[in-house]
């Protein structure tokens, strides 16, 4: 019997060094964090460039060029001209897995910036025939910069990415001008959710009254649907001194305005979900001494339950036409749906909430109440489960009640924590694949 031979000392040393090296290698999450940290300054630079060069809805030509150039450098499959100026880019990962879409909106608003910052917007553009100032007064510049960052980081881990990632850079979230099509409905119509079919869509919206780096969410109905209505009242013109010879559409209109609020206060089951009806425009007449022939009321409806949304439409039509008829006038009602209820799939929220908690810290992720603002992100939810979440951009320590609102000249975002949003986007891709694989098993 021959003696047992020992492993040569040089092989033992090499084996030891290999073991130490493997043990010392950082995990994927740590590598993603490190990569995001390394490009944080670039993400902020992109955001500030975009802030200084805003473009209105369906006119985001230079914005799209800026984004597309970056994505092409990363080697992604880039499709431009989607929904007029939108972009769909695709990263095919090196491992099998689902198709995940990440979305950012690109458009700015006709608002004059009042905040004194080095990258303040001085841009002017044409909107509906008028020359207007343009400002990123809703934070879409931050959304774009974060998604550009996520695309760069994920492309560096392409071999490790499970499945396919689609990057939606969407135009016209604020609504296309005039009678133009645009925004998420047109993106979906033109096939962004297909070829390959998307399994889930994630989006973030930066908020000026949530502390920078924090997240707030709601499962189920989160943001309201948005409908715009017009009520066209026809009466009979007369001299202002002889109202009995005419039918005053202004008086009819005031009765309709007041009665519409009874839909909320007396007809809607508000314990189920809130409803808001606002008349924002009342136009009639040309002279103080003429009772006009017509009046036009315009306003918005916000609902957080799709059934209540349709019930509200029916009640507005019934009230407006009945009041007008009772006063010898006529009323024509038209209602245009701008967005649906943004509904966060409860199963998807439960599955992916730990990703946000790990990214930002559990103490920095909070559940919130309904939001009566609206988002056309809701249209992606007609094709796949979605999870839309609020991301904070308010300087830490600020009184939340004093934070300047969105869509105002004083809107301000602290962009020092945009890296948290980039990390969240990246982690969602890997965690969703892992969770869905666990479910299949």
CA distance 171 to 169: 7
Is 286 part of any domain?
yes
Per-residue pLDDT reduced to its tens digit, 151-202: 999 999 999 999 999 999 999 999 999 999 999 999 999 999 999 999 999 9
Count of C-beta atoms within a 10 Å radius of residue 370: 16
Tell me: do 183 and 75 sit in the same domain.
Answer: yes
CA distance 63 to 202: 22
How much is the pTM?
A: 0.91
Is 8 part of any domain?
no
- What are the residues whose beta carbons fall under 8 Å from the beta carbon of 399, sequence distance 6 or more? none
Tell me: do 301 and 215 sit in the same domain.
Answer: no
Per-residue pLDDT reduced to its tens digit, 219-235: 999 999 999 999 999 99
* CATH classification at residue 135: 3.40.630.10
∠253-257-262 over CA atoms, to 5°? 140
Phi-psi region of 322 (alpha: psi -120 to 50; beta: other; left: phi over 0): alpha
Task: Please measure the distance between the N-terminal and C-terminal CA atoms of the chain and give it in whole angstroms.
Answer: 50
Q: Where are the beta strands (DSSP E) in 9-85?
A: 77-82
Tell me: do 231 and 121 sit in the same domain.
Answer: no
260 within 8 A of 354, measured Cβ to Cβ: no
Nearest to 28 by CA among 438, 440, 433, 439: 433
CA distance 303 to 141: 28
Per-residue pLDDT reduced to its tens digit, 343-397: 999 999 999 999 999 999 999 999 999 999 999 999 999 999 999 999 999 999 9
CA distance 414 to 108: 18
**Summary mean pLDDT of the chain:** 94
Tell me: do 140 and 251 sit in the same domain.
Answer: no
Phi, psi (rounded to 5 degrees) for 434: -65, -45
Tell me: do 415 and 364 sit in the same domain.
Answer: yes
Tell me: do 359 and 409 sit in the same domain.
Answer: yes
Residue 13 has pLDDT above 70, yes or no: no
Mean pLDDT of 215-219: 98
Among 338, 359, 387, which residue terminates a domain?
338
Is 13 part of any domain?
no
Tell me: do 314 and 191 sit in the same domain.
Answer: no
Tell me: do 195 and 261 sit in the same domain.
Answer: no
77 within 8 A of 89, measured Cβ to Cβ: yes
Mean pLDDT of 115-123: 98
Tell me: do 218 and 248 sit in the same domain.
Answer: no
Mean pLDDT of 213-217: 98
- Please state the domain count of the chain: 2
Per-residue pLDDT reduced to its tens digit, 18-35: 444 434 446 888 999 999
Half-sphere exposure of 169 (CA within 13 A, CB side): 33
Among 295, 318, 338, which residue terminates a domain?
338
DSSP assignment, residue 376? G
Tell me: do 190 and 266 sit in the same domain.
Answer: no
> For residue 20, what pLDDT is reported?
44
Dihedral (CA of 304, 306, 312, 313) sign:
positive
Range of the domain at 304: 225-338
Is 110 part of any domain?
yes
* CATH classification at residue 334: 3.30.70.360
> For residue 437, what pLDDT is reported?
84
Among 338, 353, 383, which residue terminates a domain?
338
Tell me: do 247 and 316 sit in the same domain.
Answer: yes
> For residue 441, what pLDDT is reported?
58
Is 22 part of any domain?
no
């Amino acid at each position: 019997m021959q003696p047992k031979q020992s492993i040569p000392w040089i092989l033992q040393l090499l084996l030891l060094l290999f073991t130490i090296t493997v043990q010392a290698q950082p995990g994927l999450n740590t590598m993603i964090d490190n990569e995001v940290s390394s490009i944080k300054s670039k993400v902020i630079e992109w955001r500030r460039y975009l802030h200084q060069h805003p473009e209105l809805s369906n006119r985001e030509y230079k914005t799209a060029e800026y984004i597309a150039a970056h994505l092409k450098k990363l080697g992604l499959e880039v499709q431009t001209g989607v929904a007029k100026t939108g972009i769909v880019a695709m990263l095919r990962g090196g491992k099998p897995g689902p198709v995940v879409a990440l979305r950012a909106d690109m458009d700015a608003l006709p608002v004059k910036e009042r905040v004194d910052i080095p990258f303040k917007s001085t841009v002017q553009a044409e909107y509906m025939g008028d020359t207007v100032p343009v400002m990123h007064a809703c934070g879409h510049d931050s959304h774009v910069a974060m998604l550009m960052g996520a695309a760069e980081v994920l492309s560096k881990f392409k071999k490790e990415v499970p499945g396919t990632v689609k990057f939606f850079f969407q135009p016209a979230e604020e609504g296309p001008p005039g009678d133009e099509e645009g925004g998420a409905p047109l993106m979906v119509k033109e096939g962004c959710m297909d070829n390959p079919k998307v399994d889930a869509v994630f989006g973030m919206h930066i908020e000026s009254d949530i502390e920078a780096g924090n997240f707030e969410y709601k499962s189920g109905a989160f943001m309201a649907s948005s409908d715009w209505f017009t009520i066209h009242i026809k009466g009979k013109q007369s001299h202002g001194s002889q109202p009995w010879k005419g039918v005053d559409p202004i008086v009819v209109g005031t009765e309709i305005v007041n009665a519409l609020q009874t839909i909320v206060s007396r007809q809607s089951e508000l314990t189920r979900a809130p409803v808001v009806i606002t008349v924002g425009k009342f136009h009639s007449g040309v002279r103080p001494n003429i009772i006009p022939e017509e009046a036009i009321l315009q306003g918005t409806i916000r609902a957080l339950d799709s059934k209540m949304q349709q019930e509200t439409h029916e009640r507005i039509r019934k009230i407006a036409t009945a009041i007008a008829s009772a006063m010898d006038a006529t009323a024509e009602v038209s209602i245009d749906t701008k967005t649906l209820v943004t509904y966060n799939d409860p199963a998807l929220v439960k599955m992916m909430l730990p990703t946000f908690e790990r990214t930002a810290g559990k103490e920095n992720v909070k559940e919130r109440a309904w939001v009566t603002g609206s988002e056309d992100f809701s249209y992606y939810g007609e094709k796949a489960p979605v999870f839309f979440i609020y991301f904070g951009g308010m300087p830490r320590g600020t009184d939340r009640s004093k934070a300047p609102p969105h869509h105002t000249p004083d809107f301000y975002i602290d962009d020092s924590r945009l890296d948290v949003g980039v990390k969240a986007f990246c982690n969602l891709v890997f965690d969703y694949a892992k969770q869905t694989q666990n479910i299949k098993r």
